[in-house]
Chain A
Amino acid sequence: MTETALRSRTRRPARPSRAKGITAIAAGAVLLIGGGTTLAYWTASRSIEAPSIAAGDLNLTLGEGEWTLDGVVGDAVTVTSLADVRLVPGDVLALSQELDVTLVGDTIEAVLTADTAGMFVGDDADAFDVQFAVDGDPLGEGITFDSEDAGRHTVTASIRFDAGTPDRERVGVPIDLSKIRFTLTQASS
């Protein structure tokens, strides 16, 4: 044995007697568990026929949509080409959109929301007021559906160009209507 090894051994602290006891108990427990695996016991199992189960469904699809433009001057007109529309202050561009809600589940509830992120560039949104409604009820922060509400609904979106927009502000600004996004999210407690 070298001198270094000897020094190392002599420096090692003495194991407390309590720790030794715990080690002994743990070793005993391991032995008992090991012994337990050798026990045999009777067992029997049977399969019973039960109804099959299936997961529910949640989905959201768009049906037909129609855009109308209601200006300060004149009557509202149906828009056939959004690319040809040039909005001016006071205009209300409205969408009537069929929305098919799929909700299958004994306990399912889901919240429908609308999002317009990316629809406007910079602070252009300040000049426009966008509101949504479902079957005539304001959508607000969202409307909760359950499975009985599944089916077709009509969502309306109105984009109002602030009539108080002064001088030549906001001329030529783009509005990306494809950014209007509806989301149906399962409600959770």
Chain B
Amino acid sequence: MFRTALGVVAGVLVGALAGLVAAHGTWSASTSVNAGIVTAGDYDIAATWSGSTPTWSALLPGTVREARLEVSSMGEGTTLGWRLHVQAAATGPLAPYTVTVARECGAGVIIGASGYPVSGTLPAGAAVAVCVSTTLAADAPSALQGQTGTLQITVTGRQVLE
């Protein structure tokens, strides 16, 4: 019976403590920033040949063929600045003897490894006309006569982060 009485007392104490914990509160105040939703921008580019896709046939040593590529950017970004990069990769037996150069058609600025423009950036929505020219080397061997190859042009718009 004594143990039962102890149990009852302990139970009462635990109940009292639980009541104390539940009643313990703290003041608190919260407030939210008065602002709405901000959205990330978007960015993409498109490139199309001016006219039909060029087919450069009957290239002779030392001759140059050129085509115009229209590059446009889409999307929006409040602080977005970008540069245009153009890479050319030739395949097949002609590859070692071809040189491909990309220029901005207006001022003729060569689009090199640092992209276009060389300094500064293009804004979102800007368009660039790119003139792509390929030259078959003057010393191309006669064994290349009648050979074919492909030229792949990769246009990249890259956000400037420096």
Contacts and interface: CB of A to CB of B under 8 A. Distances in A.
A86 B40 contact: yes
A72 B161 CA distance: 6
A125 interface: no
A86 B76 contact: yes
A interface, how many residues as a size bin? 35 or more
Nearest to B121: A73
A46 B53 CA distance: 107
Contact of A73 (B28, B33, B160): B160
Interface string B9-43: 00000000000000010111111111111111111
A60 B30 contact: yes
Contacts of B32: 178-182
A154 interface: no
A59 interface: yes
A82 B79 CA distance: 13
Contacts of B37: 82-83, 174-178
A175 B39 contact: yes
Interface in B29-63: 29-44
Interface in A157-172: 157, 161, 163, 168, 170-172
Contacts of B24: 188
A15 to B, nearest CB: 14
Contacts of A175: 37-40
The 4 closest A-B pairs by CB, nearest first: A71-B79, A86-B41, A177-B35, A73-B81
